[in-house]
């Protein structure tokens, strides 16, 4: 059997005395969509941030595609900045609050990473950025600054910006939680389109219906552990654990 595209093994992360991720292990195949659900404070954002190396794990191993990075808890053994940056570039992150560069147009936001990090020639970066803006339905907004865009439009630019780095996996941390209800659909539709194209994705979401629809695998996080993991028909519709059932009951 082929090796999984993403493998997380025995990942641990603490902030001081607060152990937030306790020995997380999971595997994701190429093209899979994984929905991560669970109560506030259970460690979902921390796990995404560790996969993206925005947060440095204390221990464990992360493989994304061809790259593996290992943390053994000793500060002296931290991987070099260069290998961290290279690894980080293989994961595209989309945040709840968009985090666009406010002083750049939509087009410049999408071009920035390829030009500065990947050293893509400007003309090529611009052509690719326009194609990505077209893909998220915003080509005609290319020259708009973020403050002239709606929340849904900003989030679609943020998705295009992450895609511009040609990541191996896309990570979404509650990408629709900050949006007015009428703008949620346009962002979910873009994510659905990516799923159809075979993009490997991890979505932290409270949109349980959406998770059921697009996810191949659902992970229920509780107190820093993967409490349940499996297809949506099990984890969402027929959870084994009482805590999962209680959490999901709030969305009924
Ligand atoms: P979730 O996304 O599931 O709501 P988080 O991963 O944001 O949970 O948070 C899990 C725990 O980690 C919380 O107790 C939170 O206070 C703590 N935490 C997260 N980030 C930090 C940080 N940068 N410094 C200290 N504690 C943090
Ligand atoms: Mg969170």
ipTM, interface predicted TM-score of the complex = 0.98
C-alpha 73 – ligand 1 centre gap (Å):
19
* Per-residue pLDDT, 40: 95
Distance CA 198, CA 189 (A): 14
Q: In the structure, what pLDDT confidence band is assigned to residue 234 with cuts at 50, 70 and 90?
A: very high
pLDDT tens sequence across 113-134:
999 999 999 999 999 999 999 9
Nearest C-alpha to atom 21 of ligand 1 is from which residue? 15
Q: Which of 65-79, 86-100, 169-183, 228-242 has the lowest mean pLDDT?
A: 65-79
Band of residue 1 on the pLDDT scale cut at 50, 70, 90: low
32-86 residue pLDDT tens: 999 999 999 999 999 999 999 999 999 999 999 999 999 887 655 677 888 888 8
Q: How many angstroms is it from 127 CA to the middle of ligand 2?
A: 34
Query: What average pLDDT does range 95-108 have in this prediction?
Result: 96
13 touches ligand 1 (CB under 6 Å): no
Q: Which residues pair with 18 in a beta bridge?
A: 15
The segment with the largest mean pLDDT, out of 68-77, 103-112, 232-241, is 103-112
Model pTM score: 0.95
Protein residue with least CA distance to atom 14, ligand 1: 41
pLDDT above 70 covers a percentage of the chain that reads 98
Is 70 exceeded by the pLDDT of residue 238?
yes
Can you tell me the distance from the alpha carbon of 27 to that of 200, in angstroms, rounded to the nearest whole number?
12
Backbone φ and ψ for 27, nearest 5 degrees, come out as -130, 140
Q: Sorting pLDDT into bands at 50, 70 and 90, what band is 2?
A: confident
Name the residue of 41, 49, 227 whose CB sits within 8 Å of the most ligand 1 atoms, as the mutation to test its pocket.
Answer: 41
Q: Is the CB of 40 under 6 A from ligand 1?
A: yes
Structure tokens at 34: 């994984």
CB 154 within 8 A of CB 98: yes
Task: Give the pLDDT mean for 208-219.
Answer: 96
Query: Ligand 1, closest atom to CA 38?
Result: 3
């Amino acid at each position: 059997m082929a090796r999984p595209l993403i493998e997380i093994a025995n990942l641990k992360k603490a902030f001081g005395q607060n152990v937030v991720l306790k020995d997380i292990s999971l595997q994701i195949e190429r093209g899979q969509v994984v929905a991560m659900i669970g109560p506030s404070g259970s460690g979902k954002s921390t796990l995404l941030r560790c996969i993206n190396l925005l947060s440095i794990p204390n221990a464990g191993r992360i493989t994304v595609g061809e790259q593996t990075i290992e943390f053994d808890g000793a500060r002296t053994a931290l991987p070099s900045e260069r290998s961290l940056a290279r690894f980080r570039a293989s994961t595209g992150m989309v945040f709840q609050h968009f985090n666009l560069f406010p002083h750049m147009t939509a087009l410049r936001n999408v071009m920035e990473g390829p030009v500065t990090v990947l050293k893509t020639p400007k003309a090529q970066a611009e052509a690719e950025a326009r194609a990505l803006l077209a893909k998220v339905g915003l080509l005609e907004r290319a020259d708009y600054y973020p403050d002239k865009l709606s929340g849904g439009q900003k989030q679609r630019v943020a998705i295009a910006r992450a895609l511009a780095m040609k990541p191996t996996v896309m990570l979404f941390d509650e990408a629709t939680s900050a949006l007015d209800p009428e703008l949620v659909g346009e962002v979910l539709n873009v994510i659905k389109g990516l799923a159809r194209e075979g993009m490997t994705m991890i979505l932290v979401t409270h949109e349980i219906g959406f998770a059921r629809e697009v996810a191949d695998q659902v992970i229920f996080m509780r107190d820093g552990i993967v409490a349940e993991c499996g297809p949506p028909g099990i984890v969402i519709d027929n959870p084994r654990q009482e805590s999962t059932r209680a959490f999901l009951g709030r969305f009924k």
